[in-house]
Structure 1
Amino acid sequence: MEPLLPSDVGKRARPYENNRRIVEGNVYRYRAGIAWRDLPREQFGPWQTVWKRHRRYAADGTWDRVVAQVLSDADAAGDIDWNVSIDGTINRAHQHATNTTRPDQDTGATSNYKNLPDSECEPAGHSIGRSRGGLTTKIHHAVDGKGRPLAVVVTGGQRHDGVILPQVMADIRVPRAGGGRPRTCPDAVLADRAYESKGNREYLRSRGIRAVILEEKDQIATRKKRGSKGGRPPAFDAGVSRRRDAVERSFANVKQWRGLATRYDKLAITYRAAVVISAILTSLRH
């Protein structure tokens, strides 16, 4: 990871030091779910340094470049299974994350920043929305067949999974080791009934991606009720669909980190960056 981390903040600034300590401090904080001020100084130095470095790396896309390089190496070795599973999971937002001014409806969607200015990175609603569980945030994952995260999108908790499918797919960008355009299209997309819609199927078909999505029960009943006018059911590979548990296992790993299972961050970009750090470590383990 170290060659991909910035060495300084500018020509007149002091160079960055102790990259390992900074990364381990971030991991420790989110795994333990502690306040930044409680970060052990003897191990990680001043908590302000760890926080500021994490905030800068989140805003300038450093963490995304690291995970992209890890995925690029895996793809070059032929280790990525391009049968991609997609799903979302809800996490409760702590009161320390919700004491910000938010519009009533704009819950936002935070994705790969691609070096945009800070004002364009952070959504107005900070990706916090009100659902049945109160104020919540939803993490949307696209993972390969081995559970390796390929895309991370964060939205408000009440956002429907199916609506976010195009944005999750747009976040899949695996650079080619030999140069050229990055790979953005999986062979197949595995999803549950929340993603079943005519629009999503047409979107995947337009990109040449095979859809392995469970059909809604009411749609099945309506088609059968219409008889021959109901048309044919969409193609569905039950054998491939059984591998959709890869994304559920991915969420189980994410929620081992207490600072991700409960959101303590006010800013959506720093919360998403922590999810990306967990994705980096998951990919490195593979």
Structure 2
Amino acid sequence: MSIDLVSDNLWERIAPLLPERPPRRHRHPGRLPVPDRVALAGIVYVLRKGVAWCDVPVQVVGCSGVTAWRRLRDWTEAGVWPRLHEALLAELRATGLLDMDDAAIDGSHIRALKRGAHVGPSPVDRGRPGSKHHVIVDHHGTPLAVSLTGGNRHDITQLIPLLDAIPRIRGVRGRPRNRPKRLFADRGYDYDKYRHLLRKRGIRPLIARRGVAHGSGLGRTRWVVERTFAWLHQFKRLRVRYEQRADLHQGLLELACSIICLRRLRTSF
């Protein structure tokens, strides 16, 4: 089952990024550590199924949920997930599957069942505690960057941070690329100040105007970001925020983005 959860394609890309394990003691070495691939299978199991860490079936996955959580904590603190995402984006660009001329940005509310950083009263859920996923995608819906904020944060607050979070994507000869030419967004981003900031960065803003009747035509291009949210929320652990630590939920978000990129990359195999 662990092999089914962590394919060879995923393991080959993530194994070189994992931090080295400290050497074992010669005297009283204790039990052998769980292999990293098995622990990664436990993380992916929780990400896909949405079960609690204590409910991970050891007979199916090969390790306990506590072990998987500890590896998630260690690898998140080591910065494994952003580097994995960046490497997969570079592969997509090398195979011509990444189109950064057009990009789209949006945010999505989720419930938060525990307190912690980046939790706030959600304006769309009767003020209950919630968080927000913010994502910027390319023309095909491939996630370029993702962030987590409180449920009461406005989408516009993440426009510039998400643009800055796009890594310098290599994959072809020449200068790495980290800026789209055009950015599509809904009425929540309708602020002239940010249009000016986008133009200063060489990005053409295509943002719907507030107070204007629907039918601007931007939806023909912007719909891909809504599909990306559907892809992300197919991972049941991301539909509701259970992690109290924001960095761990962010790590699961970035892992899900990497799996989506890997699915796109399989079309070139």
Contact 2:109 2:122 in 1 (8 A): no
Percentage of matched positions with identical amino acids: 34
1:174 is displaced (CA, Å) by 3.6
1:195 is displaced (CA, Å) by 0.5
Alpha-carbon distance in 1 for matches of 2:184, 2:94: 23
Q: Which residue of 2 aligns with 1:152?
A: 146
Contact 1:4 1:62 in 2 (8 A): no
Change (3 A) 1:2 1:30: closer
1:86 is aligned, of 102, 105, 111, to 105
Q: Which residue of 1 aligns with 2:90?
A: 72
1:4 is displaced (CA, Å) by 3.2
Provide the aligned C-alpha RMSD in A: 2.4
Q: Which residue of 2 aligns with 1:8?
A: 20
1:176 is aligned, of 170, 173, 184, to 170
1:17 is displaced (CA, Å) by 5.7
Q: Which residue of 2 aligns with 1:242?
A: 220
Count of equivalent residues: 241
User: What secondary structure sits across from 1:23 in the alignment?
Assistant: helix
1:283 is displaced (CA, Å) by 0.5
Change (3 A) 1:54 1:243: same
Contact 1:8 1:16 in 2 (8 A): no
Contact 1:4 1:65 in 2 (8 A): no
Unmatched runs of 5 consecutive residues or more in structure 1: 101-125, 222-237
1:177 is displaced (CA, Å) by 3.0
1:257 is displaced (CA, Å) by 1.9
TM-score normalised according to structure 1 size: 0.78
1:259 is displaced (CA, Å) by 1.2
User: What secondary structure sits across from 1:159 in the alignment?
Assistant: coil
Q: Which residue of 1 aligns with 2:121?
A: 130
Q: Which residue of 1 aligns with 2:204?
A: 210
Alpha-carbon distance in 1 for matches of 2:200, 2:219: 21
TM-score normalised according to structure 2 size: 0.82
Change (3 A) 1:189 1:60: same
Change (3 A) 1:58 1:7: closer
Give, as a single letter, the amino acid of the residue that structure 2 aligns with 1:46: S
1:266 aligns with 2:260: no
User: What secondary structure sits across from 1:202 in the alignment?
Assistant: helix
1:189-228 map, 5 Å: 189-217=183-211
Which deviates more, 184-193 or 250-259? 250-259
Q: Which residue of 1 aligns with 2:10?
A: none
Q: Which residue of 2 aligns with 1:165?
A: 159
Q: Which residue of 1 aligns with 2:3?
A: none
Unmatched runs of 5 consecutive residues or more in structure 2: 1-12, 265-269
Alpha-carbon distance in 1 for matches of 2:140, 2:173: 25
Contact 2:106 2:225 in 1 (8 A): yes
Alpha-carbon distance in 1 for matches of 2:236, 2:157: 28
Q: Which residue of 2 aligns with 1:19?
A: 36
Alpha-carbon distance in 2 for matches of 1:16, 1:152: 32
